[in-house]
């Protein structure tokens, strides 16, 4: 498989007035093309920090990050925040506008994504006319607009209620697969991580190190909702749950 | 429309009529009471004047004292100080927001300046800027600037942190973030600060006219005091009340149009 990035012995310290916080420590893993990888770990352990360093929004303290040439990241945040004074389409084009890549082709590409994912009628509405789930899908389109090689998702569904969460994660999964993207997602929800990913990385409490990495094997590949019924689901759930509950 | 909905609308309408009726009643009652108390010398008519005398004085001011000229002077000064005040507040707020360290440095001075009674600076301003319109405008700026800067700056500071992060994920430049996020996102705050600003400006202008005393409504009031013509003072105050009310309404109207 084609390796897109590898991280080796990555560490990050934050400095506060009274103390030095070791947020992440000695993290190493690689990401291959087409994979969907989830990261789970206790609150405040440094998951967002890891993503921020990867996407160059924060600096590392030590360690190495090797990226494939011209690798492009697309970052989808937890909140689906949009500019309330811009129409939904213009919100989806925001990244392109800022990067000065708002070409005819790219606009066409984004409009096609809207059509493809059932949001065509909403392109010319304002964000507050959309439901939470729709906004989440628009946020994904906004990220896809930049044609990234890897999608970085930081708890993308945590603001949705349980039902829309299942539905939207199914939708988002389908979109990501259909567009042939690689994804790295942080989530608090074990079931979500197991049902959506090819691999789950479990992090420990701070300082956050890798506790385990699970390659998820299923009887039959399906959508995340179908995968929840898989025979091995409970097995992984139990393993990861124990990893998170019991510290050594 | 359902019966309940109609009743609801009726209720709102009835309430509105009651409010307006009472507002008019209070105004008329006040004027009548003022007239009677003054006529029967229950209050000193020399000091408190009376509605009829105020009208007469305004007529006289209009015919013999160039009242329109004085009103226009005050309006002109207010307009200049208002526009200058908003533009400067806007620019200074941007600078303070973009250069946080600068904000930290000047913060105590802004607080000090804000709590200082600006009239105290009056004589100094006159010496520096001269006894002219310039002084009046400086005085008004002293009063409207700090409030303007602070309200616009707070607007900037209250922008959704997630949106700021979103711009970071796009590697947006500072200039892009300023023009595509910071300024449009605080549009509402800026527009809403206009109302406060116009009142502050008028206060500043009248204070300036008190000090410089050449023309304008503030001058009329001070002049009236000096020659002990309290009818003139009262008329000046009445005109001022009307003008500030009208200005306030105009700004509210503009605000509504801009926020649509
Ligand atoms: N800019 C910063 N300056 C100082 N400390 C920081 C900074 N960002 C994060 N931290 C600290 O680093 C630690 C990890 O933070 P991070 O946001 O990465 O956690 P997280 O795993 O994403 O948490 P959550 O699950 O709540 O989102 C926290 O203890 C946090 O206080
Ligand atoms: Mg986080």
pLDDT digits (tens, 9 = 90+) for B131-158: 889 999 999 999 999 889 999 999 999 9
Residue B65 has a pLDDT of 87
Do B15 and B136 lie in one domain? The reply is: no
Residue B258 has a pLDDT of 86
Do B141 and B228 lie in one domain? The reply is: yes
Do B233 and B140 lie in one domain? The reply is: yes
What CA–CA distance (Å, rounded) separates B26 from B179? 49
Residue B206 has a pLDDT of 94
Residues of B whose CB is below 8 A from A77 = 162, 165-166, 169
Domain count, chain B: 2
Nearest C-alpha of chain B: how many angstroms from A117? 22
Residues of A whose CB is below 8 A from B190 = none
Locate B51 and state its tokens: 């509605």
- pLDDT, tens digit (0-9, with 9 covering 90-100), for A156-176: 888 777 887 888 888 888 888
Do B57 and B33 lie in one domain? The reply is: no
Q: Which helix (H) or strand (E) covers residue A13, if one does?
A: strand A3-15
Partner-chain residue, chosen from B165, B171, B176, that has the shortest CB–CB distance to A77 = B165
Q: Which atom of ligand 1 is nearest to the CA of A41?
A: 21
Residue A248 has a pLDDT of 56
Interface pTM, i.e. ipTM: 0.86
∠ CA(B185), CA(B186), CA(B190), 5° rounding? 150
Whether A21 is in the pocket of ligand 1, judged by its Cβ within 6 Å, is: yes
Identify the band that residue B74 occupies on the pLDDT scale cut at 50, 70 and 90. Answer: very high
Do B98 and B32 lie in one domain? The reply is: no
- pLDDT, tens digit (0-9, with 9 covering 90-100), for B101-110: 999 999 999 8
Residue B118 has a pLDDT of 85
Residue B110 has a pLDDT of 87
- pLDDT, tens digit (0-9, with 9 covering 90-100), for A110-135: 999 999 888 899 999 999 999 888 89
Nearest C-alpha of chain B: how many angstroms from A45? 20
pTM of the model: 0.83
Instruction: Name the closest-CA residue to atom 1, ligand 1.
Output: A14
Identify the band that residue A90 occupies on the pLDDT scale cut at 50, 70 and 90. Answer: very high
What residue numbers bound the domain in which B21 lies?
1-43
Instruction: Name the closest-CA residue to atom 5, ligand 1.
Output: A14
Mean pLDDT across chain B, nearest whole number?
92
Nearest residue to A94 via CA among B165, B180, B179: B180
Do B112 and B17 lie in one domain? The reply is: no
Do B133 and B39 lie in one domain? The reply is: no
| Chain A interface disruption, residue of B170, B178, B188, most A CBs within 10 A | B170
Do B117 and B164 lie in one domain? The reply is: yes
Residues of A whose CB is below 8 A from B158 = none
Do B23 and B94 lie in one domain? The reply is: no
Nearest residue to B107 via CA among B141, B157, B71: B157
Nearest residue to A169 via CA among A135, A205, A133, A139: A133
Residue-wise burial string across B225-257, b where 16 or more C-beta atoms lie within 10 A, e elsewhere: eeeeebbbbbbbbbbbeebbeebeeebeeebee
- pLDDT, tens digit (0-9, with 9 covering 90-100), for A214-230: 998 888 888 888 888 88
Do B68 and B171 lie in one domain? The reply is: yes
pLDDT beyond 90 at B24: yes
Do B143 and B221 lie in one domain? The reply is: yes
Write out the residues surrounding ion ligand 2, Cβ under 5 A: A 48
What CA–CA distance (Å, rounded) separates A35 from A31? 7
pLDDT beyond 70 at B168: yes
Nearest-10 Cα torsion for A64, A70, A75, A81? 140
Nearest C-alpha of chain B: how many angstroms from A245? 31
Q: Hunting for tokens 């590898």 — which residue is that?
A: A6
Identify the band that residue A247 occupies on the pLDDT scale cut at 50, 70 and 90. Answer: low
Counted across chains A and B, CB pairs separated by less than 8 A come out at 38
Do B18 and B67 lie in one domain? The reply is: no
């Amino acid at each position: 498989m084609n390796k897109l990035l590898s991280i080796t012995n990555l560490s990050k310290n934050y400095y506060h007035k009274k103390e030095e916080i070791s947020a992440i420590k000695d993290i190493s893993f690689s990401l291959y093309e087409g994979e969907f990888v989830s990261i789970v770990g206790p609150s405040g352990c440094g998951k967002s920090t890891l993503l921020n360093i990867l996407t160059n929004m924060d600096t590392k303290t030590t360690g190495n990050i090797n990226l494939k040439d011209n690798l492009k990241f697309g970052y989808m945040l937890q909140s689906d925040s949009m500019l309330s004074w811009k129409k939904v389409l213009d919100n989806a084009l925001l990244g392109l506008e800022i990067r000065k890549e708002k070409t005819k082709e790219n606009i066409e590409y984004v409009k096609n994504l809207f059509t493809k994912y059932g949001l065509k009628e909403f392109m010319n509405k304002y964000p507050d006319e959309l439901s939470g789930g729709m906004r989440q899908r628009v946020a994904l389109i906004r990220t896809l607009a930049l044609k990234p090689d890897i999608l970085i998702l930081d708890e993308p569904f945590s603001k949705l209620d349980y039902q829309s969460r299942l539905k939207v994660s199914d939708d988002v999964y389908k979109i990501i697969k259909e567009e042939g993207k690689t994804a790295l997602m942080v989530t608090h929800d074990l079931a979500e991580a197991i049902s959506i990913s090819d691999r789950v990385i479990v992090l420990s409490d701070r300082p956050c190190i890798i506790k385990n990495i699970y390659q998820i094997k299923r009887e039959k590949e399906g959508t995340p909702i179908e995968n929840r019924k898989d025979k091995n689901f409970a097995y992984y759930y139990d393993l990861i749950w124990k990893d998170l509950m019991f510290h050594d | 429309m359902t019966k309940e909905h109609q009743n609801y609308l009726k209720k709102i309408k009835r309430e509105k009529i009651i409010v307006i009726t009472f507002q008019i009643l209070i105004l008329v009652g006040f004027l009548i009471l003022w007239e009677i108390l003054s006529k029967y010398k229950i209050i000193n008519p020399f000091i408190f004047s009376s509605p009829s005398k105020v009208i007469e004085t305004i007529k006289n001011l209009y015919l013999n004292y160039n009242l329109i000229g004085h009103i226009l002077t005050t309006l002109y000064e207010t307009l200049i100080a208002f526009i200058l005040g908003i533009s400067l507040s806007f620019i200074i707020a941007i600078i303070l927001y973009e250069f946080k360290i600068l904000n930290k440095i000047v913060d105590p001075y802004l607080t000090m300046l804000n709590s200082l009674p600006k009239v105290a600076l009056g004589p100094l301003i006159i010496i520096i800027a001269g006894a002219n319109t310039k002084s009046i405008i400086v005085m008004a700026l002293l009063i409207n600037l700090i409030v303007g800067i602070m309200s616009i700056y707070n607007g900037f500071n209250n922008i959704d942190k997630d949106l700021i992060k979103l711009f970071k994920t796009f590697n947006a430049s500072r200039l892009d973030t300023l023009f595509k996020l910071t300024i449009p996102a605080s549009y509402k705050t800026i527009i809403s600060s206009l109302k406060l600003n116009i009142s502050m400006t008028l206060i500043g202008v009248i204070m300036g006219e008190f000090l410089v005393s050449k023309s304008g409504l503030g001058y009329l009031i001070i002049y009236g005091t000096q020659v002990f013509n309290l009818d003139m003072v009262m008329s000046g105050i009445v005109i001022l009340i009307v003008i500030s009310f009208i200005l306030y309404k105009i700004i509210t109207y503009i605000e509504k149009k801009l926020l649509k």
